[in-house]
Amino acid sequence: MSELLKEALRREIDLYSPIIHLFSEKKYVFIEVPYFRKRVDIVFASSSLKNLYAVETKIFDWRSAVKQATMNQLFAQLSYVALPDWRIGKLNRNIFEIFRRYQVGLISVRKDAEIVIPARRNGYFNRKHYRLIKYVLKNSITHHKPRSIGDIIHASKKESRMFKFLQTWSD
């Protein structure tokens, strides 16, 4: 099996570990955060939960990732899409303009993760949505036991119920 094919078969969950290390300075990492009948792939938070960064991961469908990332701007100060680096290499340059136009950041993931287009704050931040997510995250810190990154990857692959809302912090 070629290296490219192995890369192509990676699941979104396989992108998590490098992304979590990219934001290692953030105190909290939340996976699969429920948000209006959808789930945000990863949310990073500062120690006081004041600053929230959201990341949507995709292997192929950059459009739906950008769409979700723009929705995440309602509660997150910064919002990103993470794609495998080989996928980014195949994107038309015009598409990068779409990321810039919507102030959505782009993260390239291979063995490590790298910010290719920085995210920017825009005027769509909504206090009500921010407070709602902050409340959910705060509850999670209170009620859920933190797990290691390895546990998250394992639980995700098993798709167990506990994976739906696990919390960890990077080492």
Partner 1 sequence: MLQKKSHGCLNFYRLGPTKEKALFKKHKDVYKGIIIPAHIASYFSKFCAGFIGSLQKPYFIDPITYIFARGPELIQRYLKDRKTGRTLRDALGGKKKGEIRRSYKKIVEHDYRSIIYDVARMKRALRPSDFTSENKLDEFVNNVVKFQLNKLSKVPEKYKKYERYASKESKKIFTAPNFPIFVVPPYFYFNSIEKEGWYQVNLTMIRKTKEVLGKGPRIFSVIFTSCQLLSKESKRIIDDYGKSQSDGFLLWVDDFSGYRDLRVLRIVKKFLKSLAEVGKDVIMLYGDYFSILLGYFGLKGFSCGICYGEHKSADQDLDVEGAIPPRYYIELIKKKVQIETEIRRIDIPKEFPDFLCSCAICQRKSDPVMLDDFESKEHFLIVRANEIKRYNEGLTASEQSKLFSELYNKYRNEPYFSPLAHLNNWSKILLED
Residues that bind partner 1 (CB under 8 A): 35-37, 62-64, 66-67, 70-71, 73-74, 94-95, 98, 102, 124, 126, 129, 160-162, 164
Least distance from partner 1 to the Cβ atom of residue 171, Å: 27
Nearer to partner 1, 95 or 153 (CB): 95
Nearer to partner 1, 29 or 65 (CB): 65
Q: How far apart are CA 54 and CA 133, in angstroms?
A: 11
Within 10 A of 62 (CB to CB), how many other CB atoms are there?
A: 21
Nearer to partner 1, 23 or 165 (CB): 165
Least distance from partner 1 to the Cβ atom of residue 67, Å: 5
b or e along 72-107 (b: 16 or more beta carbons within 10 Å of the residue's beta carbon)? Answer: bbbbbbbbbbbbbbbbbeeeeeeeeeebeebbbbbb
Nearer to partner 1, 47 or 160 (CB): 160
Within 10 A of 32 (CB to CB), how many other CB atoms are there?
A: 17
Least distance from partner 1 to the Cβ atom of residue 111, Å: 28
| Cβ 131 vs Cβ 111: under 8 Å | no
Least distance from partner 1 to the Cβ atom of residue 152, Å: 16
Helix (H, G, I), strand (E, B) or coil at 82: strand
